Amino acid sequence: MKTIRNLLILTLILSCGSCKNSKFGRGLRGLPENPAADEWYLDAEGFRKTIDGKKTDLYRLSNDAGMEVYVTNFGAVIAAIIVPDKEGIPGDVALGFKEVEGYAAEGDPYFGAVVGRYGNRIDGGRFELDGQVYELPINEAGNDNQLHGGPKGFSEMVWETGELTNNSIELSLVSPDGDMGYPGRLELSVRYTLTQDNALEMVYKAVTDKPTVLNITQHTYFNLKGEGRGNILDHELMLNADHFTPVNQRLIPTGEISPVEGTPLDFTTATKIGKRIDDDYEQLSFGRGYDHNWVINAGDGGLNLAGTVYCEETGRFLEVLTTEPGVQFYCGNFLDGSLTGKSGGSYEHRGGLCLETQHFPDSPNQEGFPSTVLNPGKEYYQKTVFRFSVK
């Protein structure tokens, strides 16, 4: 009897040890070989902190097709996207940090975050609305612009966690009147939903009590080989856009809407990102590579295809759909190997790419661009979808 009991205890101890192993050690880039429903890929404890007097946490969304998405309420960050490759092997395709502190640290290049109030740049951190000039804190030193909502934008805030189910989560925040220089008390929410067909849907809603400007985007860096597995120059990109908005040296749009035809920015047919990235072309030298806003070919005003990304090595295929008129394709030109990612490796130059669905940069100062003004009594609405499959 005693021997059987001892054997049982030994088995328990051993199986517990392997649980721990599979969580952090074995399998593809730290993933368990077969992640069971009760095994978490990221360590939730590293996300259970208090920042600005508010609790942060980690949440997991899953579906029956083997996809998992991890979300933290700090910055509404997507901390991991685990999706099978063509062999059915799961891998994490989103760059990020192991603990919440990484996202709160100064050097975080907006990994996975929701960016606001204004995604991308506002020239000189200054705009005029209804005859009044608003001065915003500058956080892009060299260029003297405001970038991504300023030093404490939505990506740096702890969001409230609302309704949570197995496959969806709602996060919200209140941005007070004058927050980062912007007028109006803004109430914003995002709902992330993981569908059974491996799509991560994002729905954003916002209201204001004074006229303001708003441009929300999602800043996930994708690497379809798996995060930390080299650069994305071999990924094939298609952008559903015949035009882009050229920039000046300070990465502020000139106001023109130019055809991509005949330039290295033409991704109307799927092309390897690395193919023309070093071409002698002024826009590429201003962006140090691709860092531009493409004008999505207009559909019916509903959910339109912004672009697709394909990785031959893993067969993973990503489609991005959105109700927004533009998409900023940024290919991680400022990553330089100095950041250590979730699986312990460093994120090299161009180790991830972003497809930031949005209104155009600097719209508050550009009469010809679609308006980003939000008035009281109107609801801001955006839907964007990251849909995964294999080919």
**Active-site residue numbers?**
219, 356
Which residue, 207 or 233, has its beta carbon nearer to ligand BGC? 233
Helix (H) or strand (E) holding 186: strand 186-194
Tokens in use for 187?
């109430």
CA dist 190 and 32 (Å) reads: 30
Cβ–Cβ < 8 Å for 62, 37: yes
Q: Is 11 helix (H, G, I), strand (E, B) or coil?
A: helix
Check residue 330 for interaction with ligand BGC (CB under 6 A).
yes
CA dist 140 and 322 (Å) reads: 27
Check residue 334 for interaction with ligand BGC (CB under 6 A).
yes
Which residue, 21 or 254, has its beta carbon nearer to ligand BGC? 254
Verify cis geometry, omega within 30 degrees of 0, for the bond prior to 117.
yes
Sign of CA pseudo-dihedral 269, 272, 278, 279 = negative
Helix (H) or strand (E) holding 62: strand 58-62
Selected binder of ligand BGC within 328, 363, 372, 384 (CB under 6 A):
328
Check residue 103 for interaction with ligand BGC (CB under 6 A).
no
Cβ–Cβ < 8 Å for 130, 256: no
Which residue, 120 or 366, has its beta carbon nearer to ligand BGC? 120
Q: What DSSP string describes 317-341?
A: EEEEEESSSEEEEE--TT--S-SB-
Check residue 363 for interaction with ligand BGC (CB under 6 A).
no
Tokens in use for 282?
């002024």
Binding-residue pattern over the window 247 to 286 for ligand BGC, x denoting contact by CB under 6 A = ----x-----------------------------------
Selected binder of ligand BGC within 110, 222, 294, 369 (CB under 6 A):
110
Sole residue written with tokens 């939903």: 193
Among 30-38, 208-216, 272-280, 328-336, the segment contacting ligand BGC (CB under 6 A):
328-336
Selected binder of ligand BGC within 22, 72, 73, 120 (CB under 6 A):
120
Q: What is the nearest approach in angstroms of ligand BGC to the Cβ of residue 198?
A: 25
Check residue 356 for interaction with ligand BGC (CB under 6 A).
yes
379: nearest Cα among 125, 187, 234: 187
Backbone angles phi, psi at 389, to 5 degrees: -155, -175
Which residue, 308 or 328, has its beta carbon nearer to ligand BGC? 328
Q: What is the nearest approach in angstroms of ligand BGC to the Cβ of residue 175?
A: 20
Among 39-47, 93-101, 277-285, 327-335, the segment contacting ligand BGC (CB under 6 A):
327-335
378: nearest Cα among 213, 206, 217: 206
Check residue 108 for interaction with ligand BGC (CB under 6 A).
no
Cβ–Cβ < 8 Å for 327, 359: no
Which residue, 153 or 181, has its beta carbon nearer to ligand BGC? 153
Q: What is the nearest approach in angstroms of ligand BGC to the Cβ of residue 80?
A: 19
Residues 286-305 that bind ligand BGC (CB under 6 A): 291
Judged by CB under 6 A, the number of residues near ligand BGC is: 9
Residue nearest to ligand BGC (CB): 330
User: Which residues are at the interface with ligand BGC (CB under 6 A)?
Assistant: 109-110, 120, 251, 291, 328, 330, 334, 356
